[in-house]
Amino acid sequence: QSVLTQPPSASGTPGQTVTISCSGSSSNIGRKTVNWYRQLPGTAPTLLIYTDNLRPSGVPDRFSGSRSGTSASLAISGLQSEDEADYYCAAWDDSLEAWVFGGGTKMTVL
Amino acid sequence: EVQLVESGGGLVQPGGSLRLSCAASGFTFNNFAMAWVRQAPGKGLEWVSGISKSGSNIHYAGSAKGRFTIFRDNSANTLYLQMNSLRVEDTALYYCVKYTSGTSLGDYWGQGTLVTVSS
């Protein structure tokens, strides 16, 4: 059981905008910023969004993040076949004094 | 180019020990906090432990407290994870992870080293 809650799966057609949610609590998302990671099959995760809505260099602006209250979301616009991957949210938890992850969302491009 | 290369994984019996290493290059190692994150086969990501750039501030996940020790050698640009009293549920791919300059987790990840705990 993950501390942060994500839907296990999401899907969309090419060109569509898809959103993945990440729900937490007052000890993590409610007071700390959120990161998002993408993991392509058989590879290590890569940072997609950090500090809620910042993109590392090289990440296209099709990816955007937001946070409100105890929830965060990742939006992927102009969905492409190469976006098929697992997506994870993470945040620092003040009560646990640990980084906590969501269980991951498997994105399928139909 | 930032590189993080893990080593030290392998097959170990329950109750045994392993020491993982992560050789870092391509950045000023002693300017950044580091962490270990693991992923059990077919499962999600789990943060295991983190250490500040000087090594003076350390945190552990509940599953690692009392059994695992994270430490670093800034003169050798190397991060370590000493794992004792290993359990079957510690079986996972262990990633070495670099924090951003703002102490946000994971702007660079290694390829991982596999730890298998089995009798």
Q: Do B62 and A50 touch (CB under 8 A)?
A: no
| pLDDT for B101 | 83
Q: Do B59 and A98 touch (CB under 8 A)?
A: yes
What backbone phi and psi angles, to 5 degrees, belong to B54? -90, -15
Q: Does the structure show a pLDDT above 90 at B30?
A: yes
Averaged confidence pLDDT in chain B? 97
For B102-116, what is each residue's pLDDT tens digit? Answer: 789 999 999 999 999
Confidence of residue B7 (pLDDT cuts 50, 70, 90): very high
- Count how many residues are written for chain A: 110
Q: Do A90 and B45 touch (CB under 8 A)?
A: yes
Instruction: State the Cα–Cα distance between residues B89 and A38, nearest whole angstrom.
Output: 24
Mean pLDDT, range B88-98, rounded to an integer: 98
Picking from B26-35, B64-73, B95-104, which range would have the lowest pLDDT averaged per residue? Answer: B95-104
Low-confidence ranges of chain A (pLDDT < 70): none
- Specify whether the backbone of B85 is left (phi greater than 0), alpha (psi in -120 to 50) or beta: left
| pLDDT for A86 | 98
| pLDDT for B102 | 77
How far from the centroid of its chain's Cα atoms is residue A69's Cα? 16
Instruction: State the Cα–Cα distance between residues B90 and B105, nearest whole angstrom.
Output: 21
Mean pLDDT, range B39-64, rounded to an integer: 97
CB neighbour class for B98 (10 Å; exposed up to 12, middle 13-18, buried from 19):
buried
Chain A contact for B29, CB < 8 A? Answer: no
